[in-house]
Structure 1
Amino acid sequence: MKKKITSNYESACLKWQEVFVKMDKQKLMEILPEIKIEGDYLTIYHFGRKFGVHKQTGEIIAMEDDLPISVSEKFNIYLLFYYVKPYAKIRGEWVTFEKLKNTSQFKPAFIKSVLEPFANTFAGHMDKLKDACEKIGGKRIKASDMGYEIKAFECIPIQFLFWDEDDEFEARASMLFDLGSTDFIHEESIVTIASVGVERLAQIAGLDKGSNTFDMK
């Protein structure tokens, strides 16, 4: 029996699944060497979570856990596969979100649906943020009160920067991205990727994410 479609996001996701089925898998793996083959699946890690994409059907499954897979996670994987450019590479130059190519128009959404929930979720919980970052392979960096470099995908690293609340200031957060990130995926997807990162950290930390976090479910 076919799964009942409950949202426009799910319907769009199914269309991207069909797009993936028709893609040249060998060429894709040459452009994105982080993709591996395991039986009938192409596997890839997204924020430390291993996913498998069935080569014939395009269905995405979790390879190492029984947690639900959000539509946002599926979108991120399909759109990475579709939009990655043959010349894409990590450049080693860190910039704020609005300095990525063609992203300035999405800055308000990024602040509201990513940075504010990130700050609100972990206010007063730096210890839990530290543990969550390390559990998904984050590397501590000397920036902010609690800074970690985390790989959304192997090709899209993100620096998560957090300053905790005190008697004078509320908690605040920022993120830095490699300048080449938008050569791997559509610029609008950077918002979705960052939001999934916040949600993943909150989930591991056992905290309720900020209510404004972008979520396709």
Structure 2
Amino acid sequence: MSINYHAFQNRGVAFSEHEEDAIIWYQKFSGFNPQKISNILHLQIIDGNPHIRYFNNEYRLNCQNGKIEKLIDDKWDDERVCFNEAMAIYHLFTYTKEMPVVSGEYMLASSLQGEVVANPYVKDPLIWPFEERFKNRVDRLRSLCKKACGIEINEGDCGFEFEAFPMVHIRLVFWDEDEEDDMPASLKIWVDKCILDFMHYETIGCITSDLLEMLEKADDV
């Protein structure tokens, strides 16, 4: 099954709604000492809580209750943190190796380290709707990527690199449909080949979902 399927199911779902999972993670990080992970990831600790940016938004781990909080309207809020963004941050703090590597070499997320990929004949619930939305709208997609602080790269008809976390970047490469050659629109997600130094393989689905959702919401405005 695609790593994107679970992320798709939980898109827009508040993390607190997964009550059993939420309690497990809250307990795991309640009383957490952030010094080690903050030293590895070069995070700022304020009032005993490590802070991190995720797709241009500010978050912190509340080490007293173990909750991920998001800065919304100048206030820290844990009720409006969605499942995918919470898991991305919890996994970063859980799976980061003691000496993680950023290689700067990118590969398809779907082929990372020989992981089993989804059935190619089954449409990906995240990728396929995005391809349909932006086919024949490359200029619009390029504009949205720039507004989302993406850095343009020379790949595909529209290629951008985004900072998910300061130490974890993700690339979106889109090819528009070519009716003459009967080629449908195609979206590929590329990640650093050492991304698993920072997270679990399934976390990539959460990050992919959050990136695409950010662009889709901007397109709706």
TM-score (norm 1): 0.80
Q: 1:145 to 1:155 in 2, by over 3 A?
A: same
Which residue in the other structure is 2:108 paired with? 96
Partners of 1:53 and 1:60 within 8 A in 2: yes
Give the percent of matched residue pairs that are identical in Structure 1 and Structure 2.
28
Deviation at 1:194, TM superposition (A): 1.1
Partners of 1:5 and 1:11 within 8 A in 2: no
Which residue in the other structure is 2:62 paired with? 54
Alignment partners' CA distance in 1, 2:165 and 2:194: 13
Q: Aligned residues, how many?
A: 201
Q: Which moved more, 1:18-27 or 1:169-178?
A: 18-27
Partners of 2:16 and 2:22 within 8 A in 1: no
Alignment partners' CA distance in 2, 1:69 and 1:125: 31
Which residue in the other structure is 1:18 paired with? 27
Partners of 1:20 and 1:82 within 8 A in 2: no
Which residue in the other structure is 1:212 paired with? none
Deviation at 1:122, TM superposition (A): 2.1
Q: Which moved more, 1:198-207 or 1:64-73?
A: 64-73
Partners of 1:114 and 1:191 within 8 A in 2: no
Which residue in the other structure is 1:45 paired with? 53
- Are 1:129 and 2:141 counterparts? yes
Stretches of structure 1 lacking an aligned partner (at least 5 in a row): 208-217
- Are 1:171 and 2:185 counterparts? yes
Alignment partners' CA distance in 2, 1:63 and 1:40: 16
Q: CA RMSD in A?
A: 2.7
Alignment partners' CA distance in 2, 1:26 and 1:115: 38
- Are 1:81 and 2:81 counterparts? no
Partners of 2:55 and 2:165 within 8 A in 1: yes
Which residue in the other structure is 2:130 paired with? 118
1:36 to 34, 44, 47: 44
Supply the AA of the counterpart residue of 1:58. Answer: G
Alignment partners' CA distance in 1, 2:91 and 2:56: 18
CA deviations 1:136-165 (Å, max 9, x no partner) are 321100000110001111221111001123
Deviation at 1:60, TM superposition (A): 2.2
Which residue in the other structure is 2:116 paired with? 105
Deviation at 1:97, TM superposition (A): 1.6
Q: 1:91 to 1:118 in 2, by over 3 A?
A: same
Q: 1:54 to 1:97 in 2, by over 3 A?
A: same
Stretches of structure 2 lacking an aligned partner (at least 5 in a row): 1-13
Alignment of 1:189-204 (within 5 A): 189-204=203-218
Partners of 1:84 and 1:185 within 8 A in 2: yes
Deviation at 1:114, TM superposition (A): 3.3
Q: 1:111 to 1:85 in 2, by over 3 A?
A: farther
